Amino acid sequence: DIQMTQSPSAMSASVGDRVTITCRASQGISNYLAWFQQKPGEVPKRLIYAASTLQSGVPSRFSGSGSGTEFTLTISSLQPDDSATYYCLQQFSHPLTFGGGTKVET
Amino acid sequence: QVQLVQSGAEVKKPGASVKVSCKASGYSFSSYGISWVRQAPGQGLEWMGWISGYNGNTNYAQQIQGRVTMTTDTSTRTAYMELRSLRSDDTAVYYCARDGADIVVVLEGTSEYFHHWGQGTLVTVSS
C-alpha cells in the first residue's frame, strides 16, 4: 500500500502569509494526487487534481506542485476563510490513501 | 447537475449492521464508480473501498475487508455500503464520492473523480 505522509499536522499563520503543505508518497505516484479542503461540519472540497490543476471556482491563491513522491499545496496569501483542514489523496493505485491532514489556523 | 444524496443518520448497537445508500443523479451512473470514505469524530479521512457503476467490481480497504459489502442498483442509480459487526470505533460520518468506473485510473480521468461527494451519513455505534 502507498503511504501518504503529510506535514505539518497543524500550523498557525497570519493573514497574507504564504503557506506550504507537503505530502510525501512512499512510492512514486506520478501526478495522481488531489488536494482537499475541509471545514468543520462540511463535506471535503477538492481544490487541486492531477497534482497541479486548479479546480474551477477555487481561488487562484491556491496552487499545487510536485510529481513522483513529493507534492506541495501552496496558499500564496492566506485569507481568514482558508482556516480549515487540508488533505491530500493519492489516486495512483488501490487502496487509495489520504494524508493525515493539516489543520491551518489564521 | 451531478448530485449524490445519502441516506439519513443511523444509531446502531455493537454487533449490528448498517447499510448506507448513495443515490446518484445528473450523470451516467454506469460511466463512473463510487468510493466510500469515512471520518471518525475529530479524525482524518479514511478510504473504505470502491465499486464500479459499470460492472459492480469492488475493491475494499484491508482493515475492513470481511465486514463490508458495497453494491449498486443500476435501475435506481444507487450505491450501497453495508458494514457488519459494528464496533464503537466504526462511529463516523460516511461519505460517498464519485470515482472512476475502472480500478485502473487514467490521469486525465481524475478531473472527474472526487469532485462530487454525498452530504455524509453519521453512523453512531453505541450500546
Give every CB contact of residue A5 below 8 A, 6+ residues apart in sequence. A23, A24, A25, A26, A99, A100
Q: Cell numbers for A52, please give them.
A: 497541479
Query: Distance, in angstroms, between A19 CA and closest chain B CA?
Result: 20
DSSP string covering A17-62:
--EEEEEEESS--TT-EEEEEE-TTS--EEEEETTTEEPTTS-TTE
Q: What is the pLDDT along chain A (106 residues), one digit of tens a residue?
A: 999 999 999 999 999 999 999 999 999 999 999 999 999 999 999 999 999 999 999 999 999 999 999 999 999 999 999 999 999 999 999 999 999 999 999 9
- Mutation test of the interface with chain A: which of B114, B116, B121, B122, choosing the one with the most A Cβ atoms within 10 A? B114
A90 touches B: beta carbon within 8 Å: no
Asked if B33 has any chain A CB less than 8 Å from its own CB, the reply is no
Q: Provide, as residue numbers in chain B, all residues whose Cβ is less than 8 Å from the Cβ of A46.
A: 114-115
Mean pLDDT of B78-105: 96
B45 and A44 within 8 Å at the Cβ level: the answer is yes
Cell of A11: 500550523
Strand order in the sheet with A4-7: A4-7, A19-25, A70-75, A62-67
Residue found under cell 503557506: A19
Contact B116, B37 (CB under 8 A): no
